[in-house]
Chain A
């Protein structure tokens, strides 16, 4: 590992230290309060009734029997629901509605149309959760049924969005050079079809919202406690929906029990709670059941991808084509951006890709950790492995032969790329030299042993955020931003960053988040939180130190009086002269003399002009060793090694945890995770944690995770950290699948690679 170049030369530096999670003890002792556990006076409980059918409309909704249950307060249906405005077209730069948009274009309970099974049709509100659950079973719904459209056929409505989430720089139908001609002319061609199943995030904490309306001075105020990773987004959506000033809506979320792409962009659940609370005229909590999460929380849609590679005999790839098709609901334009890795990973002169969306009567999809990269990367990196096999070439050598020295689509140089080091280190960690090029070469008892590898990547971005830092006279500091703790370590790393900038020990600094009253932050997603909030925290803390300096140099009694600002530095809770560090005074002295209880400063960060000059990505290499018991079709992943070039690492412990979790999620997608819908009625057939197989401890291999830890010189000035939330998922599926091929000679091109596919393959 390279050494950390510390942002501030303070001796108390916390950045780069593997300190424990601030919220770790709270979480493992069950004392971190999650949304559904919050106590709100006079709370009523909402239980949602979902549609039994996948397509049609409500003919009649009989609530007589349900209303008669003792304790029922009211029942919200499309007939009595408050009318709300449409979603804003965009949230910040993100397109919400329409083709290629993020989410459902409709608002809940505004009409009786049914577009997918499980779609919310009523909310039963009662004094107790038990009464609401009981009454919900007594709501009688009859339907005008239409035949649901559930299979991808040419007759179904298809779209081909031009951009992902309305982003100019992420076009979805792209041709670079002449890929078709180059493919036809290539000495070697590999053309394959890869598929991936629908998968769900399944965070341990289900969706939950408590909505509370208050009237103050004749104006309505709405507070939403919501399991959420985008408090500012929900604030804007709710204020738009109810046509009220943004300041009158407050969204709070201090802890999120996992999100993985959920809990950010699916707005109907919290809006239903707000509508129910408005109708009931009292606070309402809706805690969704696990079974309902398979209908309303979003999912990674199923994909079918045609991939073609053309290459010279020496391994130089001349053509790459990637045509993907994903499914969406009838009311969402969301597209799985399968070519995210295809468009940038290798130095290929001719690249073409398309994205089509088929609109079915299935629940609306959403982003899921590594959107596009996980399943698109599986296709690309599997095809590369197939090409390497055809060429009798080492898979790493093939990747090095096609190493991209610049972004092949834009021609821009990389902001920072050291992928060769990742390949090298990964090879040595896994023991790549032991790999036999010929499948079915190594026995381990009754199993075949195999090795596989894949490249991994993730876009790096700095978004816009503002942070507020306050120093109190007792020497403590509080730093605030409307970002989120989704298990990503936000509380911990921003405390570390702020402590270093303020030159205070970490325990004297508290970082606060999850409140829409705090300064601006984007959704915690896209692996951007550290690289977005981090630089803003640095700026806020530096501004705060500058304010302190001004107070000191202007105070006649201060030992620093009259000193030049840049002659002073922060050190161990004091301002001192750089040239005479024994001359200075403590922060609290400065505040006390100025008769100030506290001192506050704000700082904002956003991508600078460099963001237009460079192409920003994190890179990595994943290596897997598997044992496959062919007779019984069982796969054991014995080892996973990942080496990552993700910029500066703020906290090696939380960073490793992120990657380990990501790799396990990749392992789950590869071997077992799959949501199945009934082909006739569109209802989720898999809808519990018993049937949805997310990997467990017994599935966990020995894992080696390493970071190059080379700061990116073009992110946040000297900040240098890129995101790591998603890169661990990406690459892992192909690395495992390629290892299964190396072990058995069987190539399963459809995720998940379950026992039955291996038996029949």
Chain B
């Protein structure tokens, strides 16, 4: 770890100014990812601005849904009574991630901005375009069992590591940010990026822009949603593949459906092909299978992750079946 200047922001505008003024300055919230990366010499900020004291920790109902403050921690978010009742998919996804200790520290905004856990990104002796533009992608021809099957480029095959974001993607969240040029809202689908030729950029924020809150619009999915996470260990393991599934069913007909996949791409991957196929159709396992097959046709696996294509097909069906059965009630997981 290298020496850095530390300060605490007292208001959002000045925090944004401080970070905007210097490209090697970083916001610090829960610190569960940034500090690790600094210890690994991957992130080398010369200055760190803590936003922990900013008044962004509230979780409140709004006319159109719910607003989650950027510094609300993951534990409080998952256990918020309104979220548990109206957005159980989010609770399930958060509780499927990390460990209790990490969730107690990690924030909502930080969750969106956490960086890939690709081993090549973490090891400074390895090539990685995300860490050091132009150095090459170590994982492309290396060990890539954990890596992307959708949307990757020759520059980067890393995946976004979040569970929470997979649910937020499925729930059509909006990200509110404040920057040196003022405030704006970004739809969740546009928040994270595909790597293309500039994998060093994970999202569409500009330097100095700070997340203030995340909004989820009201929906009719609460009775039929499910977050399915498949991994190598039952807790404290990143997803090999995960599915956030939500159904609004009228009789036996699918009125609305949302499916997002985790562990498959550089960003939370909305299964729009499957969603379009299922909308208006009968909620049956046979239709779920057809939808999953159509979605996974576009998958381009790497050398070590061909299993994700099969797993994706099955997991989409399983998550939808669980959602239909109403097994979306959040339970405490480790």
Partners in one complex: yes
User: Do A683 and B310 touch across chains, with their CB atoms under 8 A apart?
Assistant: no
Contact B307–A679 (Cβ < 8 Å): no
- Determine the distance from Cα of A634 to Cα of B236 in the docked complex, in whole angstroms: 16
Contact pick for B235, options A687, A688, A698, CB 8 Å: A698
Given B141, B235, B311, B318, which contacts A680 in the complex, CB threshold below 8 Å? B141
The answer for the CA separation of A52 and B125 in the assembled complex, in Å, is 6
Judged by a CB distance under 8 angstroms, whether B142 is at the interface is yes
Chain A CB count within 10 A is highest, among B143, B233, B237, for: B233
The listed residue with most B CB atoms (<10 A of its CB), out of A291, A694, A698, is A698
Residue of A nearest to B3 (CB): A134
A690 to B231, CA, bound (A): 12
Contact A690 B236 (CB under 8 A): yes
What's the Cα separation between A52 and B124 when bound, in Å? 9
Residues of chain A in range 670-697 having any CB-CB distance to chain B below 8 Å? 672, 676, 678-681, 683, 685-688, 690-691, 693-697
Which size class do A's interface residues fall under? 35 or more
Determine the chain B residues whose CB is within 8 A of the CB of A631 once the complex forms.
314, 317-318
Contact B310 A137 (CB under 8 A): no
Q: Which A-chain residue is minimally distant from B305 (CB atoms)?
A: A756
**Residue of B39, B125, B311 touching A633 (CB-CB under 8 A):** B311
CA distance A52 to B126 in the complex (A): 8
Please tell me if the beta carbons of B232 and A632 are within 8 angstroms of each other in the complex. no
CA distance A686 to B145 in the complex (A): 12
Pair B233/A672 contact, Cβ less than 8 Å? yes
Q: When the two chains form their complex, are residues A696 and B234 in contact, meaning their CB atoms are under 8 A apart?
A: yes
| Residue from A685, A698, A755 in contact with B143 in the complex, judged by beta carbons closer than 8 Å | A685
Is residue A550 within 8 Å, beta carbon to beta carbon, of the partner chain?
no
CB < 8 Å neighbour of A755 from B122, B228, B230, B306:
B230
B138 touches A678 (CB 8 A): yes
Whether, in the assembled complex, B1 has its beta carbon less than 8 Å from a beta carbon of chain A, the answer is yes
Whole-angstrom distance from the CB of A128 to the nearest CB of chain B? 11
Q: A133 on the interface (CB 8 Å rule)?
A: yes
Query: Once the chains bind, are A693 and B233 in contact (CB under 8 Å)?
Result: yes
Chain B residues contacting A52 (CB-CB under 8 Å) are 125
Is B315 interfacial (CB-CB < 8 Å)?
yes
Among B232, B310, B311, B334, point to the contact of A672 (Cβ < 8 A).
Answer: B232
Q: From A683, A685, A691, A695, name the one whose CB has the most chain B CB atoms within 10 angstroms.
A: A685
Structural contact, B232 and A754, CB atoms closer than 8 A = yes
Q: Please, which residues of chain A bring their CB within 8 A of the CB of B142?
A: 678-680, 685
Contact A683 B2 (CB under 8 A): no
A67 to chain B, nearest CB (A): 16
Nearest CB of chain B from residue A700's CB, rounded to whole Å: 9
CA distance A696 to B98 in the complex (A): 12
Query: Which residues, 143 to 175 on B, are CB-close (under 8 Å) to A?
Result: 143, 145
Q: Whole-angstrom distance between the alpha carbons of A633 and B230 in the complex? A: 9
Please give me the residue from chain A that is nearest to B311 by CB atom: A759
Complex-state Cα separation, A759 to B138, whole angstroms: 26
Inter-chain CA distance A680–B230, complex, in Å, is 29
Q: Is A760 an interface residue (CB 8 A)?
A: yes
Determine if A589 is an interface residue (Cβ-Cβ < 8 Å): no
Contact (Cβ within 8 A) A134 B1: yes
Query: Across the A-B interface, how many residue pairs have beta carbons closer than 8 Å?
Result: 92
The CA of A117 and the CA of B119, in the complex, are separated in Å by 15
In the complex, which residue of chain B has the Cβ closest to the Cβ of A70? B3
A676 touches B143 (CB 8 A): yes
Judging by beta carbons under 8 Å apart, are B2 and A137 in contact? yes
A424 in the interface (beta carbon within 8 A): no
Closest approach, in angstroms, between the C-beta of A187 and any C-beta of chain B? 39
Q: Which of A133, A134, A756 contacts B145 (CB 8 A)?
A: A756
Q: How far is the CA of A686 from the CA of B119 in the complex (A)?
A: 7
Contact of B307 among A291, A681, A760 (CB under 8 A): A760
Q: Which residues of B contact A672 (CB under 8 A)?
A: 232-233
A70 to chain B, nearest CB (A): 9
List, in ascending order, chain A residues with CB within 8 A of B40's CB: 291
Is A130 among interface residues, defined by CB-CB distance under 8 A? Answer: yes
Does the CB pair A755–B138 fall under 8 Å? no
Asked if A687 and B123 sit within 8 Å, CB to CB, the answer is: yes
A184 to chain B, nearest CB (A): 39
Please encode chain A, from 44 to 77, with 1 for each CB lying within 8 Å of some chain B CB and 0 for all others.
Answer: 0000000010000000000000000000000000
Q: Which residues of B contact A693 (CB under 8 A)?
A: 232-233, 237
Q: Is the Cβ of B307 less than 8 Å from the Cβ of A755?
A: yes
Asked if A699 is at the interface of the complex by the 8 Å CB criterion, the answer is: yes
On chain B, the residues within 8 Å of A676 by CB distance are 143
Residues of B within 8 A of A688 (CB): 122
Cα A732 to Cα B233 with chains together (Å): 18
Q: How many chain-B residues does the 8 Å CB contact rule pick out? A: 38
0/1 interface trace, chain B 309-334, chain A, CB 8 Å (1 if under):
01100110110000000000000011
B117 touches A685 (CB 8 A): no
Evaluate contact between B126 and A681: CB separation under 8 angstroms.
yes
Nearest-CB distance from A124 to chain B (Å)?
13
A683 in contact with B235 (CB, 8 Å): no
Q: Are B315 and A632 in contact (CB under 8 A)?
A: yes
Looking at A134, A699, A756, the one whose CB has the most chain B CB atoms below 10 A away is A756
Enumerate B106-122 residues with CB–CB distance to A below 8 Å.
117, 119-120, 122
Residue B53, interface by CB 8 Å:
no
B240 within 8 Å of A by Cβ? yes
Is B11 part of the contact surface with A, judged by Cβ < 8 Å?
no
Determine the distance from Cα of A698 to Cα of B232 in the docked complex, in whole angstroms. 12
Chain B residues whose CB sits within 8 angstroms of the CB of A291 once the complex forms: 40
Q: In whole angstroms, how far apart are the Cα atoms of A611 and B89 in the complex?
A: 64
Interface residues of A in 713-761 (CB under 8 A from B): 754-756, 759-760
**Which residue on chain A has the smallest CB distance to residue B308?**
A756
Chain B contacts of A697 at CB under 8 A? 235, 334
Chain A residues contacting B126 (CB-CB under 8 Å) are: 678, 681, 683
Q: Which residues of B contact A690 (CB under 8 A)?
A: 117, 236-238
**Contact A696/B307 with A52-B125, A691-B117 known, Cβ cut-off 8 Å:** no
Q: Chain A, 185-215, contact with B by CB distance < 8 Å: what is the 0/1 string?
A: 0000000000000000000000000000000
Is B41 at the interface (CB under 8 A from chain A)?
yes
* Residues 127-184 (chain A) with a chain B CB within 8 angstroms: 130, 133-134, 137
Q: Which of A692-710 contact B (CB under 8 A)?
A: 693-699
Contact A755 B240 (CB under 8 A): yes
Closest to B235 in A: A698
CB contacts (< 8 Å) of A695 on chain B: these are 233
A117 to B122, CA, bound (A): 15
- With A134-B2, A676-B143: A683-B232 Cβ-Cβ less than 8 Å: no
In the complex, which residues of chain B have a beta carbon less than 8 angstroms from the beta carbon of A691?
117, 119
- Nearest-Cβ distance from residue B38 to partner chain A, whole angstroms: 10
Which chain B residues in 271-314 approach chain A with CB under 8 Å? 306-307, 310-311, 314
One digit per residue, 1 when the CB lies within 8 angstroms of any chain A CB and 0 when it does not, for chain B 235-255 equals 111101000000000000000
Q: Closest CB of chain A to B262's CB: distance in Å?
A: 14
Q: Mark A261-302, 1 if CB is under 8 A from B, else 0.
A: 000000000000000000000000000000100000000000
Give the chain B neighbours of A134 by CB distance below 8 A: 1-3
The chain B residue sitting closest to A636, CB to CB, is B234
**Residues in chain B near residue A678, CB distance under 8 A:** 126, 138, 142-143
- A residues apposed to B, CB below 8 Å: 52, 117, 130, 133-134, 137, 291, 631-634, 672, 676, 678-681, 683, 685-688, 690-691, 693-699, 754-756, 759-760
Q: List 8 A-B contacts (CB under 8 A).
A: A632-B228, A632-B315, A685-B119, A686-B119, A691-B119, A698-B334, A755-B240, A756-B145
9 closest Cβ pairs, A-B complex? A698-B234, A756-B307, A52-B125, A693-B233, A698-B235, A685-B119, A685-B143, A631-B314, A693-B232
B interface residues (Cβ-Cβ under 8 A, vs A): 1-3, 39-41, 117, 119-120, 122-123, 125-126, 138, 141-143, 145, 228, 230, 232-238, 240, 306-307, 310-311, 314-315, 317-318, 333-334
